[in-house]
Amino acid sequence: MNRQEQISQIVVTAQQMRDIEARIFAAGMPVAALMEKVAGLIASRIQTLYLSEDTILGDAEREKFPASPRHRVTASSSFPRLNKIGILVGPGHNGGDALVVARELHFQGLEVCIWCPFSKLKELTSQHLQYAQSLGIPCYQSIEDLPDCDLLVDGLFGFGLERELKDSVASAINHLNDKSVPIISIDVPSGLHTDTGEVLGTAIRASYTFCLGLWKLGLLQDQALEYVGKAELIDFDIPWADVEAVLGNPQVKRIIRATALSTLPLPRPPVTHKYKEGHLLLICGSRRYSGGAILTGLGARASGVGMLSIAVPESIKSIMVSHLPEALIVGCPETKTGAIAQLQLPENTDLSSFSAIACGPGLTKDAVPIVQQVLESANPLVLDADGLNILAEMGTSQTLQKRNALTVLTPHTGEFKRLFPELPDAKQDRIKAVRAAAKESGAVVLLKGARTAIADPQGSIWINPESTPALARGGSGDVLTGLMSGLIAQAVTRQLPIEKMVATAAWWHAQAGILAAQERTELGVDAFTLTEYLIRVISTTLEISDRC
C-alpha cells in the first residue's frame, strides 16, 4: 500500500490532529508556510470544480473514464459559472486559511468578498485580513451586508470546536443555509463537533467539505452526514512518521478499496477443492419468514464460499432448494409456530464440521434452544436479527465471555440498545459505543448505519465511508449476513484475519448497493436485486484496479 492509500485510511480525533500538527511545527515547519500550502491546494480545487473552462476529473470521476485519466469535461456541464465568491472568516487559523483562499482567488481575477463578524482574531489571521483589505477585497461584519454570492467558502471554525454556537453567529449560519447557495467548508463544517459529528446548536450545511491532512472522525458519524456534503481529503503531505508516532495502535480507519481487495480470498490456488474454500452453515428462516433464509443464502453464494449448508424448518426446504440448488439444504424438525425446533444435521456431521456458522435471519424468537446450541460451539459465529434478540435476553456480555471462539454481532441501533443497554447511546457517538461494546463482550461488533462501524475487542475500528440510502430496505441486512459469513468461512480455512474480512464484507455490500442505485435509482434496489449486483461490483472493481 502506498503512502496516499495509507493516509486516506487514517481517521483522527481533534486531539490527535493537534498532536500531529504540534510535531510538524516543532520540526521547523512555519505555521504561515503550512497555511499558504493548504490554502493554495483548496483554491486550486475550487478552480478545478467550479472555475476552469476545462475541468480535470477527480479520482471518482476518473474511474468512470479509466482509459483516459485526463479526460476533460467543460465546467458548465456540471457546475454553474461563478460571478461572486463569499469567504466566511472565523477568528482562528481556519479563518486564516479562508483568507489566503480569498487572496488567491482574487489574484486569479475573481470577484471575492469577505464576511468576518469577529473583532478579535489570531495574529496570523489578522495579518491576512489586513492584507486582503489592502488589495481592495471588501469585508463586511454584518451578514445582512454580504452581497449575494454564487459560492461560499466556510472558514468560520475548524477542528476542535466544542462550544455551542449561539446568538448572532448561529443566526447568520441559519441565514446562509436558507439561501441554498453552494458552500465549501474548510476541514469541518462550522458548528459540527470534530469527534462526534454532533451539531453544536447549528451548523453549516456544506455542499463540499475539504478535510485537511487526515480524515476527522466526526465527518464519518451518521448524525453529521446531512451537513458534510461530498467530503474530500486535501493531502498536504503530513510525514507518515508523525502519524505513526501519535496514533500508534489500535487505530480508527476508513475501509478503502485497496484494503478491501487485498483481503478478498483471491486468487485461489490452482489445486483446491470445495472444503478448502470454506464450509459455511447458515441457520435461518421459519415458516413465516422464509425470505430471510433465501436472501441470506444468496448473499453467502456471492461470497464464493466452497460449500454452503443451510438449516431451515422442513416446511420451507423445497423453496430453498428452488432458489439455491447448489447448497445443501437441511430440513429440520419445527415447532408449531414453524420455527426450527432442533438441528438435524446429516449423518457423521456436527457443528465442528463447519468453518463458520451464521444464525438468525428469519429465525423467530421461538428458536432459543438453537441459538444456545450454536453459542456453545467452538466455531466462529455470526449472529444477526433474531439471533441477536435471543442473545440480548440471555445477557449479551456474560454469555459471550464464555465462548472460546470469535463471535460477530451485526446490530442496527435498536438491536444494539437491547444488546448493550448500559453502554453509550449509539445514535450519539457510534464510534465510542461500538468500541465499548466490543471490549465488553469480546465480540467483533458491526454497527449498521449510513456509516457502518466495526470494532474488535482490541480496540481497532473500521468505518465504511461510502454507502447509499437505497440499502434502507427490508432484507438488505440478511444479504450482508450471508456475504460476511461466507467470507469468514473462507478466512478460517486460509488463516486470514477475520476482523478485516468483516470490514471487507461491509464495503462490498455497500458498493453493490451504490452500483445498483446508479443503474436503477435508489427506489429500485430491493434485497433480491442487491444480491445480483454483489458479483458485478467486485468484477467491475477488479477490472478498474487492474487498469490503474
pLDDT digits (tens, 9 = 90+) for 153-203: 999 999 999 999 999 999 999 999 999 899 999 999 999 999 999 999 999
Using CB atoms within 10 A of its CB, is residue 111 exposed (0-12), middle (13-18) or buried (19+)? middle
Phi, psi at residue 282, to the nearest 5°?
-100, 135
Q: For the chain, what is the radius of gyration of the CA atoms?
A: 26
- Any residues with CB less than 8 A from the CB of 25 and at least 6 apart, and which? 31, 34
CA distances (Å), 188 to each of 77, 115, 163, 264, in order?
Answer: 28, 18, 15, 33
- Chain centroid to Cα 348, Å, comes to 43
Dihedral of the CA atoms 322, 289, 414, 498 (nearest 10)?
-30
- Are 91 and 118 within 8 A, CB to CB? yes
Q: Does 201 show up as a binding residue in the annotation?
A: no
Q: Does 164 show up as a binding residue in the annotation?
A: yes
* 171 within a domain of the structure (yes/no): yes
Q: What is the DSSP string of 381-398?
A: EEE-THHHHHHHHH-HHH
193 and 125 assigned to the same domain: yes
Please report, as a single letter, which amino acid is at residue 161. Answer: L
Q: Does 449 show up as a binding residue in the annotation?
A: yes
55 and 198 assigned to the same domain: yes
314 and 237 assigned to the same domain: no
pTM for the full predicted model: 0.92
- What is the pLDDT, as a whole number, of residue 547? 67
Q: Which three cell numbers stand for residue 498?
A: 477475520
Q: Does 520 show up as a binding residue in the annotation?
A: no
227 and 369 assigned to the same domain: no
**Which region holds residue 278: left if phi is over 0, alpha if psi is between -120 and 50, else beta?**
left
44 and 91 assigned to the same domain: yes
Phi, psi at residue 500, to the nearest 5°?
-70, -30
Q: Which three cell numbers stand for residue 406?
A: 470469535
Q: Does 97 show up as a binding residue in the annotation?
A: yes
129 and 206 assigned to the same domain: yes
Q: Does 158 show up as a binding residue in the annotation?
A: yes
173 and 297 assigned to the same domain: no
* 244 within a domain of the structure (yes/no): yes
Q: Does 218 show up as a binding residue in the annotation?
A: no
* Alpha-carbon span 239 to 7, nearest angstrom: 10
Q: Does 452 show up as a binding residue in the annotation?
A: yes
SS3 231: strand
Vertex 178: Cα angle to 177 and 181 (nearest 5): 65
DSSP element (H, E) containing 494: helix 476-494
Instruction: Tell me which residue of 142, 151, 147 sits closest to 116, measured CA to CA.
Output: 142
* 352 within a domain of the structure (yes/no): yes
Q: Does 187 show up as a binding residue in the annotation?
A: yes
Q: Does 159 show up as a binding residue in the annotation?
A: yes
Q: Is the peptide bond before 270 cis (omega within 30 degrees of 0)?
A: no
Instruction: Tell me which residue of 427, 459, 269, 283 sits closest to 356, measured CA to CA.
Output: 283
Residues of the chain with pLDDT under 70: 52-81, 546-548
- What is the pLDDT, as a whole number, of residue 222? 96
SS3 88: strand
Q: Does 95 show up as a binding residue in the annotation?
A: yes
Q: Does 71 show up as a binding residue in the annotation?
A: no
* 530 within a domain of the structure (yes/no): no
Q: Does 92 show up as a binding residue in the annotation?
A: no
Vertex 66: Cα angle to 63 and 69 (nearest 5): 95
Q: Does 478 show up as a binding residue in the annotation?
A: yes
42 and 110 assigned to the same domain: yes
* 111 within a domain of the structure (yes/no): yes
* 512 within a domain of the structure (yes/no): no
316 and 212 assigned to the same domain: no
* 517 within a domain of the structure (yes/no): no
* 472 within a domain of the structure (yes/no): no
Which CATH number does the domain housing residue 205 bear? Answer: 3.40.50.10260
Q: Does 94 show up as a binding residue in the annotation?
A: yes
Q: Does 477 show up as a binding residue in the annotation?
A: yes
Which CATH number does the domain housing residue 425 bear? Answer: 3.40.1190.20
21 and 133 assigned to the same domain: yes
DSSP alpha helix (H) spans, 29-181: 31-46, 59-62, 93-107, 123-134, 167-178
234 and 335 assigned to the same domain: no
Q: Does 412 show up as a binding residue in the annotation?
A: yes
Q: Is the peptide bond before 138 cis (omega within 30 degrees of 0)?
A: no
Containing domain of residue 66, as a range? 3-75+82-248
Domains: count for the chain: 2
* Alpha-carbon span 286 to 309, nearest angstrom: 16
289 and 209 assigned to the same domain: no
